[in-house]
């Protein structure tokens, strides 16, 4: 191998080129690469944190959803119980009102029946008095009239 001036000059130029690159070109390239690596690492950490946060949010959401469903079921049960109570109360009131109406109707019927009987007795006594007057030919006094009514009522 023959070492000549060209080879030495090329070696010196190569060393100068490497030194210049080492001093002025590689540091900015390395800093850009380190910065990019840091950004990628930070991005990966942020993505991991976001995934963890998303998972926690999903768990919290599921917990809140279960709690909301339980509260809704409880409210629905209370509403159904209240509706049953209202229906029961309305039924009781309706029964009481029906009983009151029946009692009132019964009393009214009894009163009307007594009134009709009394009117019938009065009419009957008037007919009897008129008939008796025609048969006997004289007028009956008030005392005799009362006595006849008592006897007629006892016979009925």
The distance of Cα 98 from the centroid of its chain, to the nearest Å, equals: 31
- What's the pTM value of the predicted model, to 2 decimals? 0.43
Structure confidence at residue 122 (pLDDT): 82
- Model confidence over 57-107: pLDDT tens digits? 999 999 999 999 999 999 999 999 999 999 999 999 999 999 999 999 899
Q: How confident is the model at residue 139 (pLDDT cuts 50, 70, 90)?
A: low
Q: State the sign of the Cα–Cα–Cα–Cα dihedral 63, 67, 72, 74.
A: positive
* Helices 142-155 + 26-136 axis angle, to 10: 120
Q: How far is CA 5 from CA 1, 16, 17, in A?
A: 13, 16, 18
Domain ranges of the chain: 5-155
Of the candidates 119, 117, 115, 126, the one whose C-alpha atom is nearest the C-alpha of residue 149 is: 126
Structure confidence at residue 2 (pLDDT): 65
Q: How confident is the model at residue 18 (pLDDT cuts 50, 70, 90)?
A: very high
Structure confidence at residue 136 (pLDDT): 67
Count the neighbouring beta carbons within 10 Å of the beta carbon of residue 108: 10
């Amino acid at each position: 191998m023959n070492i000549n001036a060209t080879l030495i000059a090329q070696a010196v130029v190569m060393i100068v080129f490497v030194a210049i690159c080492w001093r002025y070109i590689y540091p900015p390239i390395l800093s850009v690469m380190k910065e990019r690596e840091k950004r990628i690492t930070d991005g990966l950490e942020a993505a991991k944190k976001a995934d963890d946060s998303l998972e926690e949010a999903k768990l919290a959401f599921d917990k809140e959803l279960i709690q909301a469903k339980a509260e809704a079921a409880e409210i629905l049960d209370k509403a159904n119980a209240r509706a049953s109570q209202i229906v029961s109360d309305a039924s009781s009131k309706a029964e009481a009102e029906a009983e009151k109406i029946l009692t009132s109707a019964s009393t009214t019927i009894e009163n009307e029946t007594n009134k009709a009987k009394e009117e019938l007795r009065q009419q009957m006594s008037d007919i009897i008095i008129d008939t008796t007057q025609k048969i006997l030919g004289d007028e009956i006094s008030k005392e005799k009239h009362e006595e006849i009514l008592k006897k007629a009522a006892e016979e009925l």
